[in-house]
């Protein structure tokens, strides 16, 4: 178990540029989540995958954001035409559905990608 | 509106003191989780409470789930600098969506 891996750890980009982040979940985990977190606040849910299917997208996720999870393994989160308000920590988490009753499954988080838009 | 309200937002204490942080909601939950997050890292699960009135202890940390399963508290005895971090409560709003409170930032001064 190597844990959830996120790359890059830091990304600085200019407003208007596109960025893509990658998440490699724990290998046997079939659930994958993306959250966004600003300084001193709790993580805010962005989107959720069960295997390769994207089952929910938050209203926070504008049309400039897209997430994929091809083949139900790693996931990417792309932000197009970045804005300064996109600056945040983007966290990926995974869990295994069925290992415990759904509503007590813990999430295993990566260490995030910190995005700064200048 | 936040599903989970945490208080206080910030807490700064001296090493050796005790502290309590709270997590409240108007909703009833089947379970509630507490996470701790250190700067530059992702949140790490501390405990899950499931039964109303349940008390769980993890070394110097004591977690309580309210009888009505709407609130929870985390008490730290004899805090140490290593307890510094952002403490987050979280609960599932459906079978897969885990929602977090805004967190309590705890600073323990040596």
- At B67-85, the pLDDT tens digits run 999 999 999 999 999 999 9
Q: Do B45 and A106 touch (CB under 8 A)?
A: yes
Average pLDDT for B35-46: 95
> What distance in Å separates residue B31's CA from the closest CA in chain A?
6
Q: How far apart are the C-alpha atoms of B23 and A12, rounded to whole Å? A: 35
pLDDT, averaged across chain A: 92
CA count, 13 A, side-chain hemisphere, B45: 17
pLDDT at residue A10 is higher than 90: yes
Which one is predicted more confidently, B97 or B2? B97
B31 touches A at CB < 8 Å: yes
Handedness of CA B99, A25, A39, A78 (dihedral sign): negative
Give the chain A residue whose CA is nearest to the CA of B89: A42
DSSP state of B86: E
**Residue A25 DSSP label:** -
State the pairing for strand pair A113-117/A88-95: antiparallel
Handedness of CA A28, B46, A32, B69 (dihedral sign): positive
Is A41 part of the contact surface with chain B (CB cutoff 8 Å)? yes
Segment A14-27, tens digit of pLDDT: 999 999 999 999 99
Separation between Cα atoms, residue B63 and residue B47, nearest integer Å: 8
Q: Averaged over A97-118, what is the pLDDT?
A: 85
Q: Count CB neighbours of A116 within 10 A.
A: 13
Would you tell me which residues 50-89 of chain B have a C-beta closer than 8 angstroms to some C-beta of chain A? Answer: 50, 86, 88
CA angle A7, A109, A26 (to 5 degrees): 80
Which of the four pLDDT bands, split at 50, 70 and 90, describes residue A80? very high
* Structure tokens given for A110: 């990566």
pLDDT band at B104 (very low <50, low <70, confident <90, very high): very high
Question: What's residue B72's pLDDT?
Answer: 97
Phi/psi for A95 (5° steps) reads -155, 170
Tell if the CB–CB gap between A103 and B30 is shorter than 8 Å: yes
Look at residue B1 in the predicted model and tell me its pLDDT.
53
CA distance B41 to chain A (A): 4
């Amino acid at each position: 178990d190597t844990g959830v891996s996120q790359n890059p750890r830091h990304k600085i980009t200019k407003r208007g540029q596109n960025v893509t982040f990658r998440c490699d979940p724990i290998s046997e985990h079939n659930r994958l989540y993306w959250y966004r977190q600003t300084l001193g606040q709790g993580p805010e849910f962005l989107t959720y995958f069960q295997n390769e299917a994207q089952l929910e997208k938050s209203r926070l996720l504008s049309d400039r954001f897209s997430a994929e999870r091809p083949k139900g393994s790693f996931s990417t989160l792309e932000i197009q035409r970045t804005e300064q308000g996109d600056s945040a920590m983007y966290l990926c988490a995974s869990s295994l559905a069925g290992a415990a009753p759904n509503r007590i499954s813990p999430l295993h988080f990566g260490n995030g990608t910190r995005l700064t838009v200048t | 509106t936040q599903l989970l309200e945490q208080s206080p937002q910030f807490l700064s204490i001296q090493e050796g003191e005790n502290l309590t942080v709270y997590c409240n909601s108007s909703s009833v939950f089947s379970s509630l989780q507490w996470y701790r997050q250190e700067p530059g890292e992702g949140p790490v699960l501390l405990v899950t409470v499931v039964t109303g009135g349940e008390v769980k202890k993890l070394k110097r940390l004591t977690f309580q789930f309210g009888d009505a399963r709407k609130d929870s508290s985390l008490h730290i005895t004899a805090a140490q600098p290593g307890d510094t971090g952002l403490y987050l409560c979280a609960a599932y709003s459906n079978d897969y969506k885990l929602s977090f409170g805004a967190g309590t930032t705890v600073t323990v001064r040596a």
